């Protein structure tokens, strides 16, 4: 019995000593290393790269300068990854002096992403683009948005004012009895102020000129000549023939104006026969 107890005590002491030596061995095998992750293409540091130990899947993230600090064991392999770069497995070299490990420089290869081919087409003139954009219809799935769109329509469709701000009258419309009752100050200012009357006249002239410019851009001698081939006196005679028959406004489309010109030209040639 005594021999058996001595054997148990010796076994316990041996196991304790072995455990202590194993712990000491494991602690001695852990090495603290540092390194820099950089691009092979630009040689610049890669910030926020991930450095992971393949064995334990534990790791760290590089700082803004691309530097990392990590505790490893002998013969560990690091897995390094970063957005825009190929993932790399990097076996840690043999470290002769664990107390003074070298500072490692590890480079990553840049990834070139292949994008799908894109066809680019000309949109034509600005007016053609606006015309196509206005004609484009987008189906609104949300009925609430549709209702809001209807309510805001009067504000979204307001045309820009060609009259500069300094020439705009305070009230650009005729004022009647209702305005005299509910807006007496504006009514009197509108009727008695010479400055306001002058602004009204100037505003009217500018709007008229702006309107005429838009109409003349859609209907003029050059456009008619290109459409019919007429020149000189014949061109003048045809445009006199068109006279009040052709209806062109600032909102008329180029297609509508051209159709009127060609229809009237047919009528004009028949009248001459």
14 inside domain: no
- Structure tokens of 166? 């300094």
Q: What pLDDT was estimated at residue 17?
A: 45
Tell me the backbone φ, ψ of residue 126, rounded to 5 degrees.
Answer: -65, -40
Same domain, 193 and 234: no
Q: What pLDDT was estimated at residue 95?
A: 86
266 inside domain: yes
15 inside domain: no
Q: What pLDDT was estimated at residue 99?
A: 82
Same domain, 43 and 104: yes
25 inside domain: no
66 inside domain: yes
Q: State the residue range of the domain holding 71.
A: 30-108
39 inside domain: yes
Same domain, 229 and 176: no
Number of domains in the chain: 3
Q: What pLDDT was estimated at residue 132?
A: 65
Render the chain in DSSP notation, one character per residue.
-HHHHHHHHHHHHHHHHHHHHHHHHHHHHEEEEEEEEEETTT--B-TT-EEEETTT--EEE--TTSEEEEEEETT-EEEEE-TTB--EEEEPPP-S-TTS--EEEEEEPBP-PPPPP-------SHHHHHHHHHH-------HHHHHHHHHHHHHHTPPPP-S-GGG--SS-S---HHHHHH-HHHHHHHHH-HHHHHHHHHHHHHHHHHHHHHHHHHS-HHHHHHHH---HHHHHHHHHHHTTTS---TT--HHHHHHHHHHHHHHHHHHH-
Same domain, 182 and 232: no
Q: What is the CATH number of the domain that holds 100?
A: 2.60.40.1120
> Which of 71, 93, 108 is a domain's end point?
108
List average pLDDT for each run of 10 residues in the chain, which is 273 residues long: 54 49 52 92 92 92 92 92 92 86 91 62 59 58 53 56 69 75 77 76 72 77 87 85 83 85 88 77
Same domain, 193 and 225: no
> Which of 79, 108, 137 is a domain's end point?
108
pTM: 0.36
Q: What pLDDT was estimated at residue 90?
A: 94
130 inside domain: no
Same domain, 182 and 244: no
Q: What pLDDT was estimated at residue 145?
A: 52
Per residue in 113-128, pLDDT tens?
A: 565 565 555 555 666 6
> Which of 108, 141, 175 is a domain's end point?
108
Same domain, 43 and 80: yes
Same domain, 255 and 192: no
Same domain, 198 and 261: no
């Amino acid at each position: 019995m005594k021999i058996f107890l001595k054997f148990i005590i010796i076994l316990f002491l041996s196991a304790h000593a072995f455990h202590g030596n194993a712990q000491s061995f494991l602690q001695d095998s852990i090495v603290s290393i540092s390194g820099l992750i950089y691009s092979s293409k630009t040689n610049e540091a890669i910030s926020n790269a991930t450095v992971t130990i393949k064995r334990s899947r534990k790791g760290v993230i590089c700082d803004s300068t691309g530097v990392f600090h990590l505790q490893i064991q002998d013969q560990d392999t690091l897995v390094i990854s970063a957005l825009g770069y190929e993932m790399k497995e990097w076996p840690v070299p043999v470290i002769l002096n664990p107390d003074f490990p070298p500072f490692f420089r590890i480079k990553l290869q840049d990834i070139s992403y292949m994008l799908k081919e894109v066809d680019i087409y000309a949109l034509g003139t600005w007016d053609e683009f606006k015309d196509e954009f206005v004609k484009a219809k987008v189906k609104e799935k949300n009925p609430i948005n549709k209702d809001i769109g209807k309510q805001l329509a009067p504000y979204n469709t307001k045309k820009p004012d060609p009259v500069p701000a300094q020439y705009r009258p305070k009230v650009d419309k005729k004022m009647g009895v209702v305005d005299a009752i509910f807006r007496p100050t504006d009514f009197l200012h509108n009727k008695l102020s010479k400055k306001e009357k002058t602004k009204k006249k100037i505003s009217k002239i500018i709007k008229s000129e702006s309107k005429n410019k838009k109409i003349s851009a859609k209907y003029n001698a050059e456009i008619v000549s290109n459409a019919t081939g007429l020149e000189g006196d014949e061109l003048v005679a045809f445009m006199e023939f068109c006279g009040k028959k052709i209806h062109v406004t600032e909102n008329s489309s180029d297609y509508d104006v051209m159709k009127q010109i060609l229809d009237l030209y047919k009528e004009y040639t028949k009248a001459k026969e």
